Chains A and B, each alone.
Chain A
Amino acid sequence: MIRRISVACLCIVVLAFLLMPDMFRPVLQPLVAEGMPPIYDRANLLMLTLAHLGLVVAAIIPSAILAVSLAIFVSRPAGSEFLPLSRALTNFGQTFPPVAVLALTVPLLGFGLWPTLLALFLYGLLPIFENTLAAFVTLSPSVREAAAAMGMTPRQRLWRVELPLALPLILEGGRIATIIALSTATIGSTVAARSLGEVIIAGLNSNNLAFILQGGILTAALALLISEVFSFVIRRLQYTQQAR
């Protein structure tokens, strides 16, 4: 209960800040030197937040589709030869720092939106793939046998039995991927992608703590809120599955 109330409060504060940033001027004023703006004024904060979220959504959705399909493929008999390599690759891929992924995509794609999108997309694949694979591999054989005994075709079995049962774990992977992407998107601003990172970097460059705080806290708040939404959906799914 306390959790829900604090999430609701956080949500209201974030919305208030985005819609009426001037209301917060007195709070941020003491943090900046005389004559410096306490509220980011080079772009609309709401638009930057939407651009930030758009970047993450545009990267994570294709990433989730590809990762889930790949995980389903390697967990079928037809793809079993690719299973050891794909596991090793996920382990290896996670040792790649997000900044390095971002930096390595710039020589390929130039500056701006695209390298950031590609880096977020690649980095999102790993947790989703790992969790989907874990869900499919740990699915008890008796469930599969029962579905087969009921006369379901492999396709029906996948869509009606296996995917719904795996969904909570897949969403958990999506949650991790989204949080990482939200944070990495701020670094995207060093290669000129539009995101809340722009506010933080402007703050770092002009020694403006208020900018750094509003960019950082907004990103963190978005991550917390989105993580709560994922956790809520996952809990509901698990609850209905147990009720059945």
Chain B
Amino acid sequence: MLDRLSVVLAVPIGVGMWLPLLGLRANRIAPPQPFSTADVFGFWPPFLILLVPIGLIFIRHPLIRTVLSMAGLIAVLISVGQGAVQLSSNAASFARVSPAVGAWITTAGFALLLLDALTRLRPGPMLRLGLLSCAILLTSLLMIGGAWDRISIMQEYGNRSTLFWTEGQRHLVLAFGSFVAALLAGIPLGIACHRIRNLRAPVIDLLTMIQTIPSIALFGMLILPLGWLAQNVDFAKALGISGIGTAPAMIALFLYALLPVVGNTAAGLDTVSSHVIEAADGTGFSRWGRLWKIELPLAMPVILTGARIVLVQNIGLATVCALIGAGGFGSFVFQGLGQTAPDLILLGALPTVALAFAASTIFGALIDLSKRGSDD
């Protein structure tokens, strides 16, 4: 029987192969002149790439599907980079080559095929971590090797490579700093909510209310009080707290992060069955011993699920922090929006998405591992 998913995806890949792969612009803001894969490489390379999705229509074995769709994806990515090298070698030095609609469509098509093959493969947590590291390694090798150096996004990067890593570091500090703070405060609060019945509803209601405040407003609301604090309290100033920048961003991310942590900690502890607790009490565990040795380990998968939501959410929200001068990849996004420079937007958005995806994959694997641990 034919694989209908591959039929459905082969169509856009086929169409995408003949749509413009690259756009050549005389300068950074000029309108692009389109080139398809066949214009750059001749007839055969796109034809060979197109054989992959057609072949997949008849192949069901998940491992072969994974390898083939990965090969297709890599072929498209490399042909984008190589095409850019060929086009820019004949053009003026300030000409820009950027991926065009065909490149996006075929990349998305192959990525979907790969995602589907991987899902059907049902990889265990260790294999998923391994695959993620391979993907990171491969991408870094291609980048260091200069495979995409002539693409405009990489040229935007080349113009500000030091700044890129500084902003990246600030992004990570914002996202991970508030994440760790939220775990340190949220897990004890969640335990308290689980043990003290009357505390739970008001705490969860308050945290839900905070979540409904739009991020840019919450940042704004923190600017003035913190600014006042910085002006009037010497200790706060010594800590480097000021109205704009990292402090309000950090506090806002922390506040948003509390709900999933507190809610999931309390919900995770709820799932521990009363038999287990009775058995633990019978074996002579103290109240705290029971919490540390029995309840928290059993609740760990649910708590980690909350942690995953928080980390992914924080990496995304840290982008908005650029609006209040806290830096991060968002500063490229908003600069790009301001200058109508799509490449600059992508330079900020792509690493953010990649970071969120990596964090989500790692935590997904950790959750599965912790479940496996508690099954034993």
Chain A residues packing against B (C-beta within 8 Å) = 31, 81-82, 84-85, 87-89, 91-92, 94-100, 103-104, 106-107, 111, 179, 182-183, 186-187, 190-191, 196-197, 200-201, 203-204, 207, 209, 212-213, 215-217, 219-220, 223-224, 227
10 closest A-B pairs (Cβ-Cβ)? A216-B217, A97-B316, A212-B220, A107-B342, A223-B212, A85-B116, A186-B214, A84-B119, A95-B356, A100-B349
CA distance A88 to B122 in the complex (A): 11
Q: Please report whether the interface of chain B is mostly helix, strand, loop or mixed according to DSSP.
A: helix
- In B303-349, which residues have CB < 8 Å from any A CB? 312, 315-317, 319-320, 323-324, 330, 333-334, 336-337, 340, 342, 345-346, 348-349
Q: Please report whether the interface of chain A is mostly helix, strand, loop or mixed according to DSSP.
A: helix
Query: Which A-chain residue is minimally distant from B313 (CB atoms)?
Result: A97
B330 to chain A, nearest CB (A): 7
The number of chain B residues touching the other chain, given as a range, is: 35 or more
Contact between chains at A219 and B214 (CB < 8 Å): yes
**Which chain B positions have C-beta within 8 A of A104?**
345-346, 349
Most buried by B among A182, A196, A197, A200: A200
Taking A96-B353, A204-B324 as given, write out 9 further A-B residue pairs in contact, using a Cβ cutoff of 8 Å, ordered by the A residue number: A95-B312, A96-B316, A98-B316, A100-B353, A111-B340, A183-B213, A187-B216, A215-B217, A224-B209
Most buried by A among B209, B213, B324, B348: B213
Given contacts A85-B5, A85-B119, whether A103 and B216 have CB atoms under 8 Å apart is no
**Which chain B positions have C-beta within 8 A of A85?**
5, 112, 115-116, 119
Given contacts A100-B319, A103-B345, whether A95 and B353 have CB atoms under 8 Å apart is yes
Contact between chains at B214 and A197 (CB < 8 Å): yes
Q: Is B91 an interface residue, CB under 8 A from the partner?
A: no
Contact between chains at B220 and A203 (CB < 8 Å): yes
A133 to chain B, nearest CB (A): 14
Q: Is B126 an interface residue, CB under 8 A from the partner?
A: no
Q: Is B357 an interface residue, CB under 8 A from the partner?
A: yes
- In B123-171, which residues have CB < 8 Å from any A CB? none
Q: Select one of A97, A187, A191, A224 contacting B352, CB under 8 A.
A: A97
A122 to chain B, nearest CB (A): 13
Given contacts A88-B119, A209-B221, whether A216 and B112 have CB atoms under 8 Å apart is no
Contact between chains at A95 and B119 (CB < 8 Å): no
Contact between chains at B324 and A106 (CB < 8 Å): no
A73 to chain B, nearest CB (A): 12
CA distance A87 to B116 in the complex (A): 9
Contact between chains at A81 and B5 (CB < 8 Å): yes
Contact between chains at B119 and A179 (CB < 8 Å): no
CA distance A84 to B274 in the complex (A): 36
**Which chain A positions have C-beta within 8 A of B342?**
106-107
Contact between chains at A103 and B214 (CB < 8 Å): no
**Which chain B positions have C-beta within 8 A of A100?**
316, 319, 333, 349, 352-353
A74 to chain B, nearest CB (A): 11
Q: Is B224 an interface residue, CB under 8 A from the partner?
A: yes
Q: Select one of A94, A179, A191, A216 contacting B312, CB under 8 A.
A: A94
**Which chain A positions have C-beta within 8 A of B360?**
91, 95
Contact between chains at A103 and B112 (CB < 8 Å): no
CA distance A111 to B342 in the complex (A): 12
Given contacts A201-B216, A204-B323, whether A220 and B348 have CB atoms under 8 Å apart is no
